[in-house]
Chain A
Amino acid sequence: MEEPLKLLQTLGTRAAEGLEAFAPERSAALERARESFLRDAPTTQRSPRILLGSFGLAAALALLVLFVSLRAEPTMSFQVATRPGRVNDQIAALGIPVQLSFSDGTRFTLGTSTRAHVVSLQRHGAQIALESGSLEANVVHTGESAWSLSAGPFSVRVTGTKFSLSWDPELGRFSVRVLQGSVAVSGSVIGAERPLRSGETLVVSVPDQHLQLSNDRPAAASSSEIEPPAAASALPSGGELRPASPSAEPSVRSANASTSANANANAWRKLALEGKLREAYASADAIGFDRACEAANAADLLLLGDAARLAGRPDRVNEALLQLRRRFPKDPRGAAAAFMLGKVAFDHGGSDRSAANWFATSLREQPNGALAREAAGRLIEALRRAGDGAGAERAAKDYLTWYPNGPHAALARSLLH
């Protein structure tokens, strides 16, 4: 059996090497996982204490059985409408609301045009991802309940019991309304966890970097406009929100666009849309480029990348465009981002192999897109410079098939003759 085993080792090694072609995607996945883990890392659970005393043997055995059952595998299960639910199955409530019913009595009702999935199940709770749309939650609260929801860059930790949640990834708009009990919310613009209590509604606009809190309890303060946490400031102690002047009628005031944070956020975008990309970069840098990226949607991230490229900041280009591909994996602008990442790698001393992978990614995702011809030509250049002669020749053949008179046709022919 030795020789076949050596052959298997050879194949296995080659397979592992072949998977290195997905290095950019794998790195991006590691980064996403790292951010999520550091943001959401749960505390370790305490082991249940075993009380030993002057019990009889039957009582001691009963305690042993209880101990074993507490350390057993999670037993939470759920149904989607009338069907058994499974972790990671995508649930799309497109025309009618859909109810998720959990075995402890907890229910989530997905509104129409909503997509979500159950990320994981634990013994006393679950983690649910709201991809887009809205849901109403009715969580059975016990001392051991462990429910959490994610919606884009936001997290909601459920401390009990009824609330509604919505997330629009296109507009970057998030809202949570607590009907009964309380939740703890954290994420983009909000920062570290803030408690929300019964009667309170929080609305966040990521592009505008703005929070609104309203309260429909008649006896309490009506509403507040909350400044997003700045780098040098701290949250009020205990996470309590400062009430505004009380008024008779609770209401939600519209966003105040005159705050300096909002004005600056709009300024870089305005400059970029006017074609003043270097000035746009300077303006974004003034408010913090990473903050600008965090608040940006896919279109804005592409603009930020372009602005950084013209400002001669390849590191910032990578920052903006990798975020675009990570946070908006299905956005069609991802192909353009991949092309630009390839250009940065090729033009600014990065890895030629990495550049080739990015150009190939752009081509694969949009083989007929506006950048396809340029990506196909650049792919030949990157492969040649990476020392992959065979790969460059294959790319050259493909190029001449599709673009026999293109700007890279002469290069392609030179490689084939």
Chain B
Amino acid sequence: MRLTVPFAGDDAALVSAIRAGNASAKAELFHRYAPQVERLITHVLGYDSELADMLQETFASALRSLNGLKDPRALKPWLLRIAACTAKKALRSRTRRRWLRYFTDDEDEARHEPRVEPPDADALRATREVYVILERLPVDERLAFALRYINGLELVAVAAACDVSLATVKRRLQRAERRFVAAAKEVPILVDCMESGERWKSR
């Protein structure tokens, strides 16, 4: 339900209004940036059934730490950095995620697996193979790779989202690229995808 008096103003005005407790401004923060945040998280993780929780966590965290934003005009990269941090936490916790039980019956953790739909199965199989390879990358390399090649961020923006220097993100990307290319060459459907746009040449 949209508030009847939506906030209007640039990011600097938005930040000031939120800090002043303006409810419309808080809603506008979500409306203005939630689609980009969602795309970033989904591009890093693949579709995840806990996407709604991660979105809320990102924006709630942003509100709690908004006073720490030194330059309100840099709201968008700051918010994307929080989103990247949320995605990174999810990646790290996934490797340790488990049901804690006090009975011994088994539970299915399939809810964390991306679902694949029959329509356009080849495209989805290719997407799935991309994420299978990404699962094998170290978290920091995966994050940089997904932000650069799937989310389409420029190098400077990737560095900002990962909260590291440009040199560090370039090193991470180089390692990720080497690993990913080596793995993708072994997956026929990925080779097909690439050859449909470009001729594949061995390195």
Contacts and interface: CB of A to CB of B under 8 A. Distances in A.
For this complex, into which size category does the number of interface residues on chain B fall? 35 or more
Contacts of A46: 67
B153 to A, nearest CB: 11
B47 A40 contact: no
Contacts of A47: 67-68
B119 A14 contact: no
B95 to A, nearest CB: 11
Contacts of A10: 193-194, 197-198
A98 interface: yes
A18 B127 contact: yes
B71 interface: no
Given A8-B181, A14-B193, A41-B26, A95 B120 contact: no
Interface stretch (B73-81, B97-105, B135-143, B160-168): B97-105
Given A12-B149, A21-B120, A33-B53, 9 more contacts: A4-B177, A11-B190, A15-B150, A29-B38, A40-B56, A41-B27, A44-B67, A120-B57, A390-B122
Interface of A: 1, 3-19, 21-22, 25-26, 28-30, 32-34, 36-38, 40-47, 71, 80-81, 83, 86-96, 98, 119-120, 122, 329, 356-357, 360-361, 363-364, 379, 383, 388, 390-391, 394-395, 398
Contact of B64 (A11, A44, A357, A364): A44
Q: For A26, A33, A46, which residue has the most chain B Cβ atoms within 10 angstroms?
A: A33
A3 B194 CA distance: 11
B52 A33 contact: yes
A379 B68 CA distance: 51
Given A14-B123, A21-B120, A364-B117, A33 B131 contact: no
B5 interface: no
B119 A16 contact: no
Contacts of B18: 44
Contact of B66 (A44, A92, A95, A379): A44
Contact of B55 (A7, A11, A33, A119): A33
Contacts of B198: 3, 6-7, 10
A92 B102 contact: yes
A290 B68 CA distance: 39
Contacts of B21: 43-44
Contact of A95 (B1, B47, B102, B150): B102
B156 interface: no
B88 to A, nearest CB: 13
B55 A30 contact: yes
B181 A29 contact: no
Contacts of B65: 45
B123 A379 contact: no
Contacts of B8: none
B200 to A, nearest CB: 7
B117 A14 contact: no
Contact of B200 (A7, A36, A119, A398): A7
A34 B60 contact: no
A16 B55 CA distance: 18
Given A15-B130, A21-B119, A360-B118, A87 B56 contact: no
Contact of B118 (A12, A96, A120, A394): A394
Contacts of A22: 42, 47, 114-115, 117
A33 to B, nearest CB: 4
A144 to B, nearest CB: 13
Given A45-B67, A91-B100, A360 B119 contact: yes
Contacts of A11: 126, 130, 149, 184, 190, 193-194
A123 to B, nearest CB: 10
A93 B124 contact: no
5 contacts: A18-B127, A34-B31, A119-B53, A120-B60, A364-B118
B177 A8 contact: yes
A86 B42 contact: no
A361 B26 CA distance: 34
